[in-house]
Structures are given as C-alpha cells and as structure tokens.
Amino acid sequence: MYETRIIEATDDGMKDAQNEAVAFLQKGEVIALPTETVYGLAADAFNPEAVAKIFAAKERPEFDPLIVHIASFQDLERVAIVPEDIRETIGKLSNEFWPGPLTIILPKTPQVPDLVTSGLPTVGVRQSGHPMFQSINKALGNPIAAPSANRFGRISPTSASAVMKELGGRIPLIVDAGACNEGIESTIIRIEPREGKKPIFYLHRAGPITKEQLQKFGKVEKVKPGEKLQAPGQLASHYAPLTPFRLISKPDDFTPEPGKTYGLLSYKGEEGGEFVRMHRWDSVVALSPGSGKLSEAAIRLFYAMREMDEMGLDEIIAEPLSEVGLGVAIMDRLRRASA
C-alpha cells in the first residue's frame, strides 16, 4: 500500500510537479497524470516492470493492450514501424490531429515490451495535447504507457479527486491539473492502404476525433465483428458504475419496479422532455443542461456517471443521444456501461 499524494500543477508549481513526476517514473513507479481526454495511469513504456504495476494497480487483464504516448512526432519510430504505403497518410493525420486525442495502431518496434501490447505485434500510439503531460513526457525522455487511471472496467476519471477514489493507496502520486478538456478517451484507428484510393480507417474506438473529421483523409469503417482485440476499450462491458446502469432507446422500454429508486442520466434534462416526464425520478442529472451541446455532454459524461453512482440509487437509467459527431463516442460509452 502507498500513501497517495496529490500535487497541484499550478502556474507556480508546474516545474516542481514535473520534476517530482519524472523522478517517480524514472524509479519505475506508476503515477496518475492529466491528459486532455481523461486522467491516465502512467509508466515508462520501455520499463516492463513498471508497466506490470499498471496492470496490478488497475486489476487490468493482461490481454487488454495499453496506448503508448510520445513526446513528439520524431519519437514515433522509436515505438512503431511506419509502413511505406501509409507513411504519407500518417504524416497528414499527425499534422492535423497531433498533439491530440487520436490513437493510431501500427506495427511495434522491438523496444516496446510485449506486456504493453498484450503480445500483439501492433501498438496504439498518440501524442497527448495536455501541456503538463507533454512536459513530463519530454523530460522523461521515453514514451509513456498510460491507460485511464481507474480500476478496470470502471468509470474513467476526469479529475484528480476521481483518481484518488479509484486508486488511492495503490499509487504514490497524482498530478492535479484540473478537469480534463475532452472528457472521453481518444479515438483509435487502424489504417488499411488502397492503391489509387483514399485509405480505409478502421474505427476501433470512437472518441473526440469524429468520423466526420477523419473522412477528409480516408474512408471510415467500423471494426469487423469478431475481430481480434487490438485496442483498449473494446470489451462489451466497460466504463461501468457500480450501480446497475441501463441505456434505453425509448420511454416505453422502462417499467419501474415498486419500491426501487431510479435516477435518469439525461442529455438536456429539460422538464418537458419525454424521458424526464415519463417517471418521478429520484434524481435527474443532465449532460448538457438545457443547451444540448455534444461537446459539453462529452466533457461531463464520466463526471455525471460517477456523481450518480454515489447517490445510493437502485438503478441508473440513461436516455439515448443522436449518433452524429461526438454523439457516436458518447453512445459507445453508454452502451458498454450498460452491457
């Protein structure tokens, strides 16, 4: 057991926070760091003993691979082999979306331990856009393996306090840089080249970089059913609160049981909305109160799920969102939480 400390990465304390974080990583420890998506549980990606501590702290099965974060595009070939037939596409995608919440699956280099990739010959790579993560990544001098900083299958944390609730006593340090800007994990794609045509981007996980944004560079297709696990966040049940959680398609799908308490995870939370008025809810929590903005809903999603999980309800009911833009990623998380 550790005595977990939270260190604030304020304007005055950023350098101290960076130095302390790097010192822990160099010693082979795992620590929680902020990214623009969610808080990550970080270790030196080239240190297999440190990476093993990620799996232990999260109680994560070793068949679920980790994403590797690089400090700059120049570091890409330290962790991944870029095939010649997609080199131009990788250049375009990195120019457009890195640093940022896009993870690309590529063949791995021998330097990347098999534990990081769960024995797969490929690795998911991205360059975080969070300034604190970037500075620590650069100062460490090695790539950083960093899945979400929560116990396996649970709600991803978007604040330092949420990390403490999940992993307090399991890790030595949490770097607190406030709430995450995006609120949901990175988009994950695998690229398949096509001669004379735009490449195909197989979407392994929907995220902040949307299908519409990617279509400028290639044709986006969903991963084929039954395809072998190649990226994190692919299990049917994931991102789940401890409270029973159910996503419904329409109001008629919900029949309350007498004596049970229910909360509604609503998109807008409007009093006149069909989902809000269909039952006398014990609590209604809105993802984008009144305005219905998908960007706000994405940022608030895991925070709202965690808030409702702590209310002592018998069941949480979630209403659906339109599956356009960020709505695809939000619905993906709601379905997996409901599985």
Residue 203 maps to a domain: no
Kindly state whether residues 21 and 143 are assigned to the same domain: yes
Pairwise CA distance, residues 34 & 133, whole Å: 6
Task: Provide the mean pLDDT of the chain.
Answer: 95
Looking up tokens 């979306």 gives 97
Q: What is the pLDDT of residue 233?
A: 72
Residues in contact with 95: Cβ distance below 8 Å, sequence separation at least 6, in sequence order = none
Residue 52 maps to a domain: yes
Question: Does the pLDDT of residue 95 top 80, yes or no?
Answer: yes
Kindly state whether residues 116 and 263 are assigned to the same domain: no
* Containing structural domain, residue 271: 245-338
**Where residue 313 falls among pLDDT bands split at 50, 70, 90?**
very high
Calculate the CA 198 to chain-centre distance. 28
Mind listing the pLDDT tens digit for each residue in 119-149? Answer: 999 999 999 999 999 999 999 999 999 999 9
3 state DSSP class of 304: helix
Kindly state whether residues 251 and 330 are assigned to the same domain: yes
Q: What is the pLDDT of residue 108?
A: 98
Q: What is the mean pLDDT of residues 325-338?
A: 96
Residue 279 maps to a domain: yes
Residue 81 maps to a domain: no
Kindly state whether residues 62 and 148 are assigned to the same domain: yes
Kindly state whether residues 147 and 285 are assigned to the same domain: no
Kindly state whether residues 250 and 155 are assigned to the same domain: no
Mind listing the pLDDT tens digit for each residue in 25-82? Answer: 999 999 999 999 999 999 999 999 999 999 999 999 999 999 999 999 999 999 999 9
Kindly state whether residues 135 and 34 are assigned to the same domain: yes
Which of 123, 150, 176 is the last residue in one of the domains?
176
Pairwise CA distance, residues 220 & 210, whole Å: 10
Mind listing the pLDDT tens digit for each residue in 152-180? Answer: 999 999 999 999 999 999 999 999 999 99
Token pair of 266, please? 């609503």
Phi, psi of 98, deg, nearest 5: -110, 140
Q: What is the pLDDT of residue 140?
A: 98
Token pair of 216, please? 């400028």
Which of 159, 176, 193 is the last residue in one of the domains?
176
Question: Does the pLDDT of residue 226 top 70, yes or no?
Answer: no
Cα→Cα distances 161→260, 265, 283, 303, 306, Å: 29, 21, 23, 11, 11
Q: In this structure, what CATH number is given to the domain that contains residue 325? A: 3.40.50.11030
Residue 310 maps to a domain: yes
Kindly state whether residues 51 and 133 are assigned to the same domain: yes
Question: Does the pLDDT of residue 181 top 90, yes or no?
Answer: yes
Pairwise CA distance, residues 184 & 297, whole Å: 10
Looking up tokens 């339109």 gives 322
Count of domains forming the chain: 2
Residue 67 maps to a domain: yes
The full DSSP string for 198-259 is EEEEEEEE--SS-HHHHTTTSEEEEPPTTPPP-SSS-SSS-SB-SS-EEE-SSGGG--PPTT
Pairwise CA distance, residues 239 & 154, whole Å: 5
Pairwise CA distance, residues 263 & 296, whole Å: 20
Q: What is the mean pLDDT of residues 80-99?
A: 98
**Where residue 225 falls among pLDDT bands split at 50, 70, 90?**
low
